[in-house]
Chain A
Amino acid sequence: MATAQGMMLEVSALAKNFAGVAAVSDVSFGVSEGEIVSLIGPNGAGKTSVFNMITGFYSPDTGSIQYAGCELRGLEPFRIARLGVARTFQNLELFRDMTVEGNMQVACQCHSPISLGAAMFRSAAVRRRETEDAERIARLVDAVGLRQQLGSMASQLSYGAQRRLEIARAMATGARLLLLDEPTAGMSPAEVDEILDLAKKVRDSGVTILLIEHNMNLVMRVSDRIIVMDHGMKIADGEPAQIRRDARVRQAYLGTAG
């Protein structure tokens, strides 16, 4: 596999079994800085498991995950997030009883030097930091079109808005690598287009994106490169045009399409 220099993320020989069943076996791929790479494949192909291993929620049985010169394997999720890898969740994991603003404030603390004591005494550093965060939050919610809903409870947002909030929240951590797990699931075509624009905007701001997605139309339009998985293995890796022609990919999809 291509292991060129300057890779932002490099996954090699990753494997994970659950109770003897292989969820992921021998998966290797790389993501370069500034790319949008899509991870596609039928349900149960192991895509989310790969995400969970990169972000530390599962520990791989074998393999390594190199990110910007660090080995992520064995690190806890919050440490990986602090290194600049943020994610969204397939089944939405918003802080439901918090406002949109509150959700964003949590994420803004990813690199915050504020301590519990400073917060209790409301030091000057705390006030300064909170003003900065408020500006950052304003920019991000503008970008995802949630300015008006800043004070609404996360649980009261529409489904599409909840997905966009998750993306904005992940961005607020100051991530350099963003892992989006099915960001358009259950969305209308118009909302899908919004996500497409958003993804491009995020990429143009210098953030690398790894995307799990079922909407092929979106994948083909947005991706610089596509990785295809089936039954826990990688079966193809290439540019959208190549993937479209790939016989194995067609078989994997047609085989499960019925």
Chain B
Amino acid sequence: MTARHKGWFIFVVLALAVVPKLGTNPYALHVLSLVGIYAIVTMGLNLVFGYTGQISLGHAAYFAVGAYTSGILTLQLGAPFAVGMIAAVALAVVLGLLVGIPSLKLEGSYLAMATIGFGEIVKMLLVNWEHVTGGPAGISRIPHPGILGFTFNTADAKFYLILTFSAVAWLLYANLLMSHYGTRFIAVRDSAKAAAGMGIDVRRTKIQAFVFSTAYAGMAGALYAHLNRYIAPDAFHLGESINFLLIVVVGGMGTLLGPLMGSAIIVYLRESLLVLKDYNMLIFGLILMVLMVFMPRGLVGSAQLLVSKWRRRRA
């Protein structure tokens, strides 16, 4: 990252850190925390989907695995939050490898459907493996997260915890994608043939992207479990996977900032459409259709296009 990027990063994190001090109500902080969690998931998904060009409609499954792993470990075995978090990420990574390797040869619609199928199988497991997952009722009273004796039991404290995780996740993600190493993902998307001709191991690259994304989804899932303190299979259905994908597309697939903007827009769009009551999802669907037609590059992509046009006109 350049000095300018670092400056922006510190500015945004500090600005967000001030939010709880402005007397923001707990619900608003909860929503903002959710934006952070979605941003973590979709940073990973953007690497797979926006940069490497592999679709996944099953990421709710990794999110669920993270949430359940940490939830069960901390609640039933009394493990500390850190252990739950590490286990959540590790299990999501293992599952990512198990799914990622066989799905290497699938593309496009086939991959989309295969990932949906996988997601549904995980959801069925959550519903039917009752003595571990609590079945359809899920798991409640998940402990507040605690680190080194400090318990994050207020909306403020949880917000700061999630802000920290999001900021670190962002740093690693941005470092990767702004490095020369990051170009190999786009190379695989644009021309797998040429990438191979330049010495890039295409399969390995795809798996790296996929596993990176499942690690992020697992991490976000664990945060989600401890933020809500209640998880049930309903929160991890196909609609949630679709939601993740939409965030990436609406934000701008293959743009660094897309997941952040997309998460904020989608979460707040949904919140603000709630005033429309029964009509809210109807309008949401409509907005999506319109966005695809008029903003195919997403918010960040379209903004970049405008800026570059404006610069060219001035030059």
Seen from chain A, the residues whose Cβ lies within 8 Å of a Cβ on chain B are: 55-57, 76-78, 81-82, 86-87, 89, 93-98, 102, 105-112, 114, 116, 118-122, 126, 129-130, 133, 169-170, 172-173
Known contacts A76-B196, A106-B198: A122-B191 contact under CB 8 Å: no
- By beta carbon, the residue of chain B nearest A116 is B208
What chain A residues lie within 8 Å of B172 (beta carbons)? Answer: 120-121
**15 A-B pairs whose Cβ atoms sit less than 8 Å apart in the complex:** A77-B197, A78-B196, A78-B201, A95-B195, A97-B189, A109-B199, A109-B200, A110-B199, A111-B199, A112-B181, A116-B212, A120-B173, A133-B180, A170-B198, A172-B198
- Please state if B181 and A95 are interface contacts (CB–CB under 8 Å): no
Interface string of B192-212 (1 = CB under 8 A from A): 011111111110000010001
Seen from chain B, the residues whose Cβ lies within 8 Å of a Cβ on chain A are: 1, 172-173, 175-176, 179-184, 186-187, 189-191, 193-202, 208, 212, 254
CA distance A95 to B184 in the complex (A): 10
CA distance A108 to B200 in the complex (A): 10
Known contacts A98-B187, A122-B175: A109-B197 contact under CB 8 Å: no
Pick the contact of B197: A87, A108, A118, A129 (CB < 8 A): A87
- Please state if B179 and A82 are interface contacts (CB–CB under 8 Å): no
What chain A residues lie within 8 Å of B1 (beta carbons)? Answer: 122
Known contacts A78-B200, A107-B198, A116-B208: A98-B190 contact under CB 8 Å: yes
What chain A residues lie within 8 Å of B212 (beta carbons)? Answer: 116
What chain A residues lie within 8 Å of B190 (beta carbons)? Answer: 94-98
User: Is chain A's binding surface mostly helix, strand, loop or mixed?
Assistant: helix
- Please state if B197 and A116 are interface contacts (CB–CB under 8 Å): no
Pick the contact of A173: B176, B198, B201, B202 (CB < 8 A): B198
- Please state if B198 and A110 are interface contacts (CB–CB under 8 Å): yes
**Given contacts A78-B195, A173-B199, could you give 20 more A-B pairs where the C-beta distance is less than 8 Å?**
A57-B197, A77-B197, A81-B197, A86-B198, A87-B197, A89-B194, A95-B191, A96-B190, A98-B183, A98-B186, A102-B186, A105-B183, A107-B198, A109-B181, A109-B200, A110-B200, A114-B180, A114-B181, A119-B182, A130-B179
